Every structure is written in C-alpha cells, then in structure tokens.
C-alpha cells in the first residue's frame, strides 16, 4: 500500500526505535528514583530528550512538559489556563478550523461558564489578523491558534499573531502538532506562551507528546489535569514514559535536522503529483494553494465523492477524505466548510499527505490510481453525464 496519510500518523523512524530499545529492555529505571543508578540512567535519558526538544523550538529544557500526546497537551493548555486565570477573565479565542481536540476542549470551557469566540478563516484557511485584534477583550485570557492545519496544511502567520497577543497581554497557545519538524518553530520570535506537539506525527512513537510552557516573561501558570507525585513541575503527575520520551526527543532532533532537505524534496514530489492531477484530470481544483506545508495536497474532483473514490483505490493507496464519520452520519469536514467550501465540495475532497518515505515511483503510481478511480466513478455517474452534456452547470 502507498501510504499518503502521514498527517493522520507517521511510521516510527527505525533510528528512533533503536534509541528507544535500551529503555524498553534493560534500562527500565524510574527517573524519579534518586538513590540508585537505574534511576539516574533513566533520568539522564529524559534530560537529554528535554534538551533536544527545547533546542528544536528555542526554549529552555525546564519549559518542556511530557504528556501522553497532543490531545492531552491541548486539554492541559486550555483547561489549565482557564482554571488558573479564572479570576482575570473567562474569555477564550480560537478558530473554526482547529483540530477537534481544541474545539471540544473549548466546548468544555463554555460548559464551565466561560465564553469562546470562534474566528473565521479566509478561503486559504488563514485567520484575519485584524479580526483577531478586534476579538480580544479585557477579560480574554487565552488565544488558541494552530500552527499548521492537519487537513489543508495551511500555515498561520504565528509571528503576527504572537505580536498581537503579546501587546494585548493575552496568553497565546498554539497546537503545533503538524508543524513541528515540518516548518521552523521559534517560540521566542513568534512570542508563543504554550505549544503542543505529539510523537506519532513526527516519526516518533504513539502515546507520547509534550507541551512547551513559558517560564518567564510571562511565567505561565497551568492548573494540572492529573494530580499525583508532582512530576513535570507539578503540571503533569505520573511516572515518566521513558522509552516514549527518548523516542520523542530523538524524533524531534532528527526531524528538525532534516527540515530543509525534506521540505524541498517533498515540495518537488507534491508539485509533480499536483501538476499531473490538475492537468490530466478534468474539473479538479486545489482547496488551498498559498501558505501551506510542502507535503500536503487537499484537492477536489467535481461530482466525485471522496469516500467512494477512496474505495476504488482497493487498499493500494491510503489518503483521507474531506468527510468525517461521526456516530450518526458522514459529515463534511468542518475545516473545509469553514474555508468557504460547500458541503458537496467538501465531500468531493481528498487529503494527500506525503512523508519521509515517499518515493518518485509512488507519486507516479498514486497518480494513476487516482486518475483511474475518478474516471471510473464519473463514467458510472448520471450527474457527470448531465454535466458534460451541458444540462448542469
Ligand atoms: C493528531 C493531532 C492532534 C492529536 O494528537 P494525538 O497525539 O494523537 O493526541 C491534535 N492536533 C492536531 C493538529 C493533530 O494533527
């Protein structure tokens, strides 16, 4: 199977697994054990991982908190700020195209008596900086804006957003799960106060993630979600997942070292696939073109259902569709709907996310699989025939 669904999850890099292995086998010490070498060795490994991650985003090692993944990090950031800054205000600003981890946690804020403003985005998926500025009120305690979107690859102007939040004295949290190791991140120059990330989106292991929490100017306070032994500066108790942490640190260090090489390689592969799709398949349109990550294509094919198209791939090609299955039905993607697409357009979209192991051959093969699928569905479609004969616009 050709795996073009790297925004859903990435494979574990073999060199990262090698670095984890000793901590899954013989080095099983608890880093909190201060009285023997088994503990010290584990603690040393955690210190190194913290340094690797901190240096990747221009932070201090003590500002990195380990969690079970980005969903937990997002929950800790938003709920933690809401609980700790309650007396200052209860207003949170976020964006309609955020990941469900953020939107659902913001629903929790509303249920707890807080107020949430959901900003719109333009056709390219970007937040309007002036609209953000206008939305900030005296009781605003947090702005939550993702760095890069998982569905469209759209990258926000975090430097401009950071400037506005800092001058307004409002904390800025960014879900950077899709951005870390894909695009350069500097929490100082972008004035980020809290930043979430995850191991399995960066060729690291699943079940590990982290949160950058600024320690000075300003010092961010977070109410913990999990109480216990006071690990991670009291913000996240529980024995540390040492193999996961070692893997996360190694994956982030490796990913950042490859950023420039991989961005240009993936951009060339993406452009090649995109060129063929756009030039050799009729009525196909890119959903985002500007400000996007180099490995993501979100594209739609007129009068073709994305879910049906994926079925034609017969397990030879893995991509994601512009629809999301909920318990009751298939809903159009909230991200595409917020980016001014119609329901039909969202349902006719697919997301292609290339990755570290994508080859030129796979690009060619995937193009043919997609082309054949679109042709097959259109040849069977009465609507397409009506459209082609001019009976539809
Ligand atoms: C995958 C993802 C998450 C959730 O991460 P987990 O580590 O799987 O909990 C959150 N936000 C974005 C943007 C993601 O892509």
Ligand 1 pocket residue status of 99, Cβ below 6 Å: yes
CATH top-level class of 14-257: alpha beta
Tell me the pLDDT band of 336, cut-offs 50, 70 and 90. very high
Q: How far is CA 234 from CA 84, 213, 221, 229, in A?
A: 13, 12, 10, 8
Shortest-distance atom of ligand 1 to CA 74: 10
Q: Would the pLDDT of 324 be above 80?
A: no
Burial of 370 per CB tally in 10 Å (0-12, 13-18, 19+): buried
CB 177 within 8 A of CB 99: yes
CATH assignment, 2-6+259-373:
3.90.1150.10
Shortest-distance atom of ligand 1 to CA 201: 1
Task: Give the whole-angstrom CA distance, residue 113 versus residue 391.
Answer: 52
Give the per-residue pLDDT at 326: 67
Using the mean position of ligand 1's atoms as its centre, give its distance from the Cα of residue 102 in Å.
10
Task: Give the whole-angstrom CA distance, residue 236 versus residue 105.
Answer: 18
Q: Would the pLDDT of 162 be above 70?
A: yes
Q: For the chain, list the strands marked E by DSSP.
A: 2-3, 64-67, 91-95, 115-119, 140-144, 171-175, 194-198, 209-213, 284-286, 296-301, 317-318, 320-321, 323-325, 330-332, 349-353
Task: Give the whole-angstrom CA distance, residue 8 versus residue 3.
Answer: 10
Task: Characterize the bridge pairing of strands 317-318 and 2-3.
Answer: parallel
* pLDDT tens-digit readout, 34-47: 999 999 999 999 99
* pLDDT tens-digit readout, 212-270: 999 999 999 999 999 999 999 999 999 999 999 999 999 999 999 999 999 999 999 99
Ligand 1 pocket residue status of 178, Cβ below 6 Å: yes
Ligand 1 pocket residue status of 209, Cβ below 6 Å: yes
Tell me the pLDDT band of 392, cut-offs 50, 70 and 90. confident
Give the per-residue pLDDT at 323: 81
Q: How far is CA 170 from CA 39, 136, 140, 291, in A?
A: 40, 8, 7, 25
Residue among 82, 78, 132, 134 at smallest CA distance from 101: 78
Extents of the domains making up the chain: 2-6+259-373, 14-257
Using the mean position of ligand 1's atoms as its centre, give its distance from the Cα of residue 225 in Å.
18
Residue nearest to atom 15 of ligand 1 (CA): 150
Q: Would the pLDDT of 330 be above 90?
A: no
What are 331's strand-pairing partners? Answer: 324
Which pair of tokens denotes residue 157? 């102007």
In degrees rounded to 5, what are phi and psi of residue 374?
-65, -45
Average pLDDT on 277-300 reads: 96
Residue nearest to atom 12 of ligand 1 (CA): 177
Share of the chain above pLDDT 70, in %: 99
Residue with tokens 């309650």: 86
Task: Give the whole-angstrom CA distance, residue 220 versus residue 162.
Answer: 15
What spatial distance separates the first Cα and last Cα of the chain, rounded to whole Å? 37
* pLDDT tens-digit readout, 98-111: 999 999 999 999 99
* Residue 325 a catalytic site member: yes
Ligand 1 pocket residue status of 150, Cβ below 6 Å: yes
Of 174, 201, 202, 203, the residue with max ligand 1 atoms within 8 A of its CB, to mutate for a pocket test, comes to 201
Q: What rounded mean pLDDT belongs to the chain?
A: 96
């Amino acid at each position: 199977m050709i795996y073009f669904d790297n925004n859903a999850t990435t494979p574990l890099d073999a060199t990262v697994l090698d670095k984890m292995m000793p901590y899954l086998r013989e080095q099983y010490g608890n880093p909190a054990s201060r009285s023997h070498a088994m503990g010290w060795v584990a603690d040393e490994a955690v210190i190194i991982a913290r340094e690797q991650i901190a240096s990747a985003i221009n932070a201090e090692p003590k500002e990195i908190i380990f969690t079970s993944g980005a969903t937990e990090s997002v929950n800790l950031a938003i709920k933690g700020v809401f609980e700790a800054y309650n007396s200052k205000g209860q207003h949170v600003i976020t964006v309609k195209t955020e990941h469900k981890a953020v939107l659902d946690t913001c629903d929790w804020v509303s249920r707890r008596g807080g107020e949430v403003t959901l900003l719109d985005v333009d056709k390219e998926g970007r937040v309007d900086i002036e609209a953000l500025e206008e939305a900030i009120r005296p009781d605003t305690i947090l702005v939550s804006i993702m760095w890069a979107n998982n569905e469209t690859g759209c990258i926000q102007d975090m430097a401009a957003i950071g400037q506005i939040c800092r001058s307004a004295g409002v904390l800025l949290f960014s879900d950077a799960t899709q951005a870390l190791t894909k695009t350069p991140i500097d929490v100082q120059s972008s004035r980020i106060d809290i930043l979430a990330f995850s191991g399995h989106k960066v060729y690291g292991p699943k079940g590990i993630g982290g949160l950058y929490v600024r320690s000075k100017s300003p010092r961010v306070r977070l109410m913990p979600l999990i109480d216990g032994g006071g690990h991670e500066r009291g913000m996240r108790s529980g024995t540390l997942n040492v193999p996961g942490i070692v893997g996360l640190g190694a994956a982030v260090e490796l990913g950042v070292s490859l950023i420039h090489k991989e961005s240009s390689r993936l951009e060339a592969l993406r452009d090649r696939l995109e060129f063929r799709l756009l030039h050799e398949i009729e009525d196909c349109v890119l959903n985002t073109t500007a400000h996007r990550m180099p490995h993501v294509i979100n594209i739609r094919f007129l009068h073709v259902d994305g879910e049906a198209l994926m079925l034609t791939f017969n397990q030879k090609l893995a991509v994601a569709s512009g629809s999301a299955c909920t318990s009751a039905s298939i809903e159009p993607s909230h991200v595409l709907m917020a980016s001014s697409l119609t329901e039909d357009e969202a349902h006719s979209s697919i997301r292609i996310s290339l990755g570290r192991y994508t080859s030129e051959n796979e690009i060619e093969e995937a193009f043919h699989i997609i082309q054949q699928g679109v042709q097959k569905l259109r040849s069977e479609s009465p609507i397409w025939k009506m459209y082609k004969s001019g009976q539809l616009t």
